[in-house]
Amino acid sequence: MDPYVASSTKPLYRGTQIVWYVLGVLEVLLAFRFILKLLGANPAAGFSNFIYSLSYPFTLPFSTVFGVSQVSGSVFEWTTLLAMAVYWLVAFGIIKMLTMSKAVTTPEAAVKLDNQ
């Protein structure tokens, strides 16, 4: 095995772990926001306020894309679902770019090209 390939793999692996971790935290935060809004949680309650305040900057870029569907105090926030999808796609793209930069041996490259 090529020592350069082995030495370049661990930092890339750590990088992908970090991206997936950050995405996971963000997705959980946005999921909490979505569920709290859907169930009509009191925005003045400490936990609800904390989640709304923390997640607001991540939903702001998408706030005018869709309208809000509201029924009896429950809010179906399409904006949050869009944000979750976009952040997942961004993370997936970053992971792909990181893994593309991994050094490979000639036989590995040949196999990968054959599989494509």
Nearest alpha-carbon partner for 59 in 94, 84, 88, 92: 84
Question: Would you state the structure tokens that stand for residue 13, as one six-digit string?
Answer: 């692996």
23 C-beta neighbours (distance < 10 Å), count: 18
pLDDT tens digits, 21-62: 999 999 999 999 999 999 999 999 999 999 999 999 999 999
pLDDT tens digits, 47-58: 999 999 999 999
Given a contact cutoff of 8 angstroms between Cβ atoms, the answer to whether 36 and 65 are in contact is no
pTM: 0.81
